[in-house]
Amino acid sequence: MTNPPAESIDAYIADFPLNIRKMLKTIRTTIRKAAPRAEETIKYAMPTFTLDGNLIHFAAYQKHIGIYPVPMGVPGWDEALAPYVTGKGSLQLPLDKPMPLTLISKIVKFNAKRNAEKMKAKKK
Protein backbone atom coordinates (compact mmCIF):
# COMPACT_ATOMS: atom_id res chain seq x y z
CA MET A 1 0.00 0.00 0.00
CA THR A 2 1.37 3.41 -0.95
CA ASN A 3 0.79 6.70 0.80
CA PRO A 4 -1.69 9.08 -0.83
CA PRO A 5 -0.08 12.00 -2.66
CA ALA A 6 0.72 15.05 -0.57
CA GLU A 7 -1.94 17.75 -0.68
CA SER A 8 0.54 20.63 -0.78
CA ILE A 9 4.19 21.30 -1.51
CA ASP A 10 4.76 21.89 2.21
CA ALA A 11 3.35 18.44 2.99
CA TYR A 12 5.41 16.86 0.21
CA ILE A 13 8.65 18.38 1.50
CA ALA A 14 7.85 17.47 5.11
CA ASP A 15 7.97 13.74 4.23
CA PHE A 16 11.72 13.80 3.54
CA PRO A 17 14.83 13.77 5.75
CA LEU A 18 16.26 17.16 6.70
CA ASN A 19 19.02 17.24 4.06
CA ILE A 20 16.53 16.51 1.26
CA ARG A 21 14.00 18.99 2.70
CA LYS A 22 16.64 21.71 2.51
CA MET A 23 17.32 20.92 -1.17
CA LEU A 24 13.62 20.84 -2.01
CA LYS A 25 13.02 24.15 -0.22
CA THR A 26 15.92 25.74 -2.09
CA ILE A 27 14.56 24.51 -5.43
CA ARG A 28 11.10 25.82 -4.51
CA THR A 29 12.56 29.24 -3.63
CA THR A 30 14.54 29.30 -6.88
CA ILE A 31 11.42 28.54 -8.91
CA ARG A 32 9.42 31.16 -7.02
CA LYS A 33 12.09 33.83 -7.75
CA ALA A 34 12.24 32.87 -11.43
CA ALA A 35 8.44 32.93 -11.83
CA PRO A 36 6.90 35.00 -9.03
CA ARG A 37 3.40 34.84 -10.56
CA ALA A 38 3.39 31.03 -10.76
CA GLU A 39 0.93 29.10 -8.62
CA GLU A 40 1.86 26.08 -6.51
CA THR A 41 0.00 22.79 -6.65
CA ILE A 42 0.52 19.03 -6.66
CA LYS A 43 0.18 17.23 -10.00
CA TYR A 44 1.24 13.68 -10.79
CA ALA A 45 2.02 13.41 -7.03
CA MET A 46 4.81 15.99 -7.47
CA PRO A 47 5.27 19.62 -6.46
CA THR A 48 4.24 21.65 -9.48
CA PHE A 49 4.26 25.29 -10.44
CA THR A 50 1.79 26.49 -13.06
CA LEU A 51 1.78 29.65 -15.14
CA ASP A 52 -0.21 29.58 -18.37
CA GLY A 53 -0.11 25.78 -17.99
CA ASN A 54 2.31 23.43 -16.25
CA LEU A 55 5.56 25.29 -15.70
CA ILE A 56 7.75 22.83 -13.82
CA HIS A 57 7.45 19.72 -11.65
CA PHE A 58 10.09 18.42 -9.26
CA ALA A 59 10.37 15.30 -7.15
CA ALA A 60 12.86 13.69 -4.80
CA TYR A 61 14.05 10.13 -5.32
CA GLN A 62 16.56 7.93 -3.56
CA LYS A 63 19.63 9.31 -5.37
CA HIS A 64 18.44 12.37 -7.27
CA ILE A 65 15.90 15.14 -7.66
CA GLY A 66 13.98 15.03 -10.92
CA ILE A 67 13.01 18.17 -12.79
CA TYR A 68 10.31 18.10 -15.49
CA PRO A 69 9.90 19.32 -18.23
CA VAL A 70 13.35 20.27 -19.42
CA PRO A 71 14.04 21.76 -22.86
CA MET A 72 15.26 18.85 -24.97
CA GLY A 73 16.39 19.21 -28.56
CA VAL A 74 16.35 22.99 -28.16
CA PRO A 75 19.38 24.80 -29.57
CA GLY A 76 21.67 26.09 -26.85
CA TRP A 77 20.55 23.71 -24.09
CA ASP A 78 22.69 20.65 -24.80
CA GLU A 79 25.81 22.06 -23.14
CA ALA A 80 23.96 23.16 -19.98
CA LEU A 81 22.30 19.75 -19.60
CA ALA A 82 25.36 17.66 -20.55
CA PRO A 83 26.67 17.07 -16.98
CA TYR A 84 23.37 15.45 -15.93
CA VAL A 85 21.33 12.36 -16.72
CA THR A 86 18.45 13.41 -18.95
CA GLY A 87 15.48 11.61 -20.42
CA LYS A 88 12.33 12.53 -22.29
CA GLY A 89 12.03 16.06 -20.96
CA SER A 90 13.54 15.14 -17.60
CA LEU A 91 16.67 16.08 -15.69
CA GLN A 92 18.19 14.13 -12.79
CA LEU A 93 20.11 16.19 -10.25
CA PRO A 94 22.27 13.95 -8.01
CA LEU A 95 21.71 14.41 -4.28
CA ASP A 96 25.45 14.29 -3.60
CA LYS A 97 26.23 17.32 -5.80
CA PRO A 98 25.33 21.01 -5.37
CA MET A 99 21.98 21.89 -6.90
CA PRO A 100 22.44 23.87 -10.16
CA LEU A 101 20.12 26.68 -9.12
CA THR A 102 21.05 28.93 -12.04
CA LEU A 103 20.16 26.13 -14.45
CA ILE A 104 16.84 25.50 -12.67
CA SER A 105 16.05 29.23 -12.88
CA LYS A 106 16.84 29.26 -16.62
CA ILE A 107 14.60 26.22 -17.18
CA VAL A 108 11.72 27.91 -15.33
CA LYS A 109 12.12 31.14 -17.31
CA PHE A 110 12.35 29.22 -20.59
CA ASN A 111 9.19 27.24 -19.77
CA ALA A 112 7.35 30.41 -18.68
CA LYS A 113 8.20 32.11 -21.97
CA ARG A 114 7.19 29.01 -23.95
CA ASN A 115 3.88 28.75 -22.07
CA ALA A 116 3.14 32.46 -22.60
CA GLU A 117 3.80 32.07 -26.34
CA LYS A 118 1.45 29.06 -26.49
CA MET A 119 -1.29 31.03 -24.69
CA LYS A 120 -0.83 34.00 -27.01
CA ALA A 121 -1.07 31.73 -30.06
CA LYS A 122 -4.28 30.11 -28.71
CA LYS A 123 -5.92 33.52 -28.29
CA LYS A 124 -5.33 34.44 -31.94
d(CA 100, CA 98): 6
Query: CA nearest 33: which of 113, 119, 106, 114?
Result: 106
d(CA 5, CA 61): 14
- DSSP bridge pairs for 67: 58, 91
With a cut of 50, which residues of the chain have pLDDT below it? Answer: 1
Query: Domain residues of the chain, as ranges?
Result: 9-123
pTM: 0.91
* Residue-level pLDDT at 1: 42
Question: What sign does the dihedral 58-6-41-17 (CA atoms) show?
Answer: negative
- 9-123 has CATH 3.90.1150.200 classification: yes
pLDDT, averaged across the chain: 91
Q: Are strands 64-68 and 85-87 parallel, antiparallel or unpaired?
A: unpaired
pLDDT in tens, 6-27: 899 999 999 999 999 999 999 9
